[in-house]
Amino acid sequence: MSNWLIRIVFLAFVMGGGILIGILTAPGDWYAQLSKPVFNPPNWIFGPVWTVLYVLIAITGWRQFEADRSSSAMKLWWAQMGLNFLWSPTFFVLQMPWLALVVIVALLIVIGIFIARVKNSDRVSALAFLPYLAWVAFASALNLSIAILN
């Protein structure tokens, strides 16, 4: 498969998956009625942030795939993708903030391990995942706060 086709497939998978999960698990009345911490951002911020992050995630995925599709870094990339796509249904559909916290903390750990694993071999991928790490850390704090408040 050519590099450009791989890149398009990764971008379509990550962006398409994110959009689909966002549509299928959009926050509804349950979320609107929850008590939220003072640092809860306005709802409009999530779309733009996740769009940028999903592009970075796709770039990192194709870089790892092109380097060695069976590497431990690639397996970590797939693990974070699965956890990423699992969080919204757990939180918004199942309405289980404590279980969602377990998912997001696992995601945070996998992202951190991924960064540590690739920092010497692929600095671009490690750096591209830093904003993702920061956002998921923030989202973890938000998830924890919502779970405690409700």
pLDDT of residue 3: 87
Q: pLDDT-derived band of residue 53, with 50, 70 and 90 as boundaries?
A: very high
Tokens of 103: 């998912």
Handedness of CA 49, 51, 52, 53 (dihedral sign): positive
Residue-averaged pLDDT of the chain: 95
Q: Please return the burial class of 113, using the count of CB atoms within 10 Å of its CB with bins 0-12, 13-18 and 19+.
A: middle
The pTM for the full model equals 0.94
pLDDT of residue 94: 97
Q: pLDDT-derived band of residue 2, with 50, 70 and 90 as boundaries?
A: confident
Helix axes 97-118, 72-88, angle to 10 degrees: 160
pLDDT of residue 40: 96
Q: Which CATH class is domain 3-149?
A: mainly alpha
Torsional class of 95: left (φ above 0), alpha (ψ -120 to 50), beta (otherwise): left
What are the extents of the domains in the chain?
Answer: 3-149
